C-alpha cells in the first residue's frame, strides 16, 4: 500500500549537515521556514483522524488515517478504503526517536545562526492558503534550486501546522501526484477497522540488527544529489541503501548476477515515484542496480552511473 506524502516525512535517521550562510540562504523567507518547522512538529500532535485522497494520474486511492501521540510514543494506522482493503499499523513509535528527514526540516531559527540546511536546495515562499477539509490553511511553495529533485505545493493547517494537502510538481510544473485530507478531526481516535483483508505491522528495526541483504564485495555510491544523506549507517557490503534530503527519499538496491545481462535500462514512473533499473558491472562483478524513489529519472540514472566497487 502506498503511503501519502505526510507518512514519508516520518521514516528516516541521521543528523543534518551545517552550512555557512550564503545569498541562497538569505533569499528564503524566515516565516516560511518557521511554518516548515511547525509542519514537522505537527507529527507529534496529540490525536487526529480523517480521510485522505491520494491521486496519481487517473489512479485515485482513499485512505482512513488515525494518529495518536502521548508519552509512550506515536501510534498510527492507514486503512485503504478503495480497492483491496489493506491496513498499515505502527505501534508506539518512540517519541525520542528523531529521523533525519525531520531533523533536516526542523530549522527554526537556524537561519539567524547562519545555518541554511535544506534551504540550500529548496526555496520556500508563503502563498495564499485556501479552505481544505473545512480548515483554514497556509500555502507553502517549495521550489527546487536544481534539476535533481521535485518541487512541492503544501497547504498547512493554519492552527496546527499539520500537512493538509501536498502536490508534487516536476520541472515543467506538471502535477505528478497529490494527497489531500477530505475530512479531518482533532481529538479521540476511533479503533482501527477490524474487517480489513490485509494488515501490515510497520517495524522499526534496531540499528544493531543487520536486516539488509549483503553482497560479496564492498561498493559505494560515488555521487549523490547535493543535500542527500544516508537514512541510517550501513556497511559497504549491504545490498540496499536509502537517502533523503528531508523531503524526498530514494533507495538504491544492488543485486549480484551470475552472468552479465544485455545493456539497457528500464524505467517505470508512477506519480512522483521513479523505478530505474539497469544491468552493469561493479568492477568485474555483473550486478543489477535498481533506484526507487521520489526523484526525476535523470537523477536516478546519475546515481546508477556512480555505483562503484570499493577499493
Q: Is 216 helix (H, G, I), strand (E, B) or coil?
A: coil
As beta bridge partners, residue 140 has 126, 154
Residue with cell 568492477: 283
Total count of residues recorded for the chain: 311
The HSE-up count of residue 47 (CA atoms within 13 Å, CB side) is 8
* pTM of this structure: 0.80
Residue with cell 486503512: 79
Give the whole-angstrom CA distance, residue 214 versus residue 239.
5
- Of 31, 34, 53, nearest to 42 (Cα)? 34
Q: Is there a contact between 114 and 21 (Cβ–Cβ < 8 Å)?
A: yes
Give the whole-angstrom CA distance, residue 156 versus residue 139.
6
Domains recognised in the chain with CATH numbers: 5-201 (2.50.20.10), 219-309 (3.30.200.100)
Q: What average pLDDT values come out for the chain (311 residues) when binned by 10 residues? A: 40 30 66 84 82 90 87 81 76 53 50 66 92 96 95 95 94 92 90 59 49 72 93 80 90 87 87 93 84 96 92 67
Amino acid at each position: 500500500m502506498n503511503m501519502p506524502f505526510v507518512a514519508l516525512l516520518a521514516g528516516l535517521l541521521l543528523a543534518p549537515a551545517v552550512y555557512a550562510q550564503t545569498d541562497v540562504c538569505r533569499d528564503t523567507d524566515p516565516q516560511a521556514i518557521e511554518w516548515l518547522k511547525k509542519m514537522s512538529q505537527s507529527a507529534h500532535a496529540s490525536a487526529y483522524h480523517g480521510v485522505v485522497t491520494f491521486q496519481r494520474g487517473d489512479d485515485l486511492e482513499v485512505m482512513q488515517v488515525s494518529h495518536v501521540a502521548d508519552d509512550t510514543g506515536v501510534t498510527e494506522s492507514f486503512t485503504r478504503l478503495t480497492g483491496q482493503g489493506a491496513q498499515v499499523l505502527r505501534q508506539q513509535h518512540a517519541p525520542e526517536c528523531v529521523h533525519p528527514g525531520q531533523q533536516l526540516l526542523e530549522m527554526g531559527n537556524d537561519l539567524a545562526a547562519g545555518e541554511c540546511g535544506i534551504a540550500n536546495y529548496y526555496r520556500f515562499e508563503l502563498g495564499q492558503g485556501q479552505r481544505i477539509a473545512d480548515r483554514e490553511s497556509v500555502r507553502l511553495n517549495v521550489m527546487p534550486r536544481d534539476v535533481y529533485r521535485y518541487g512541492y505545493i503544501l497547504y498547512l493547517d493554519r492552527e496546527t501546522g499539520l500537512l493538509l494537502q501536498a502536490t508534487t510538481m516536476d520541472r515543467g510544473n506538471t502535477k505528478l501526484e497529490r494527497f489531500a485530507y477530505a475530512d479531518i478531526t482533532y481529538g479521540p481516535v476511533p479503533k482501527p477497522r477490524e474487517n480489513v483483508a490485509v494488515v501490515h505491522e510497520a517495524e522499526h528495526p534496531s540499528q544493531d540488527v543487520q536486516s539488509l541483504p549483503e553482497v560479496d564485495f564492498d561498493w559505494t555510491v560515488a555521487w549523490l544529489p547535493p543535500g542527500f544523506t544516508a537514512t541510517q549507517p550501513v556497511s559497504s557490503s549491504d545490498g540496499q541503501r536509502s537517502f533523503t534530503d528531508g523531503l524526498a527519499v530514494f533507495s538504491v538496491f544492488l543485486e549480484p548476477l551470475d552472468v552479465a545481462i544485455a545493456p539497457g535500462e528500464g524505467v517505470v514512473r508512477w506519480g512522483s515515484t521513479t523505478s530505474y533499473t539497469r544491468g552493469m558491472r561493479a568492477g568485474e562483478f555483473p550486478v543489477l542496480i535498481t533506484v526507487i524513489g521520489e526523484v526525476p529519472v535523470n537523477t536516478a540514472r546519475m546515481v546508477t552511473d556512480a555505483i562503484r566497487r570499493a577499493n
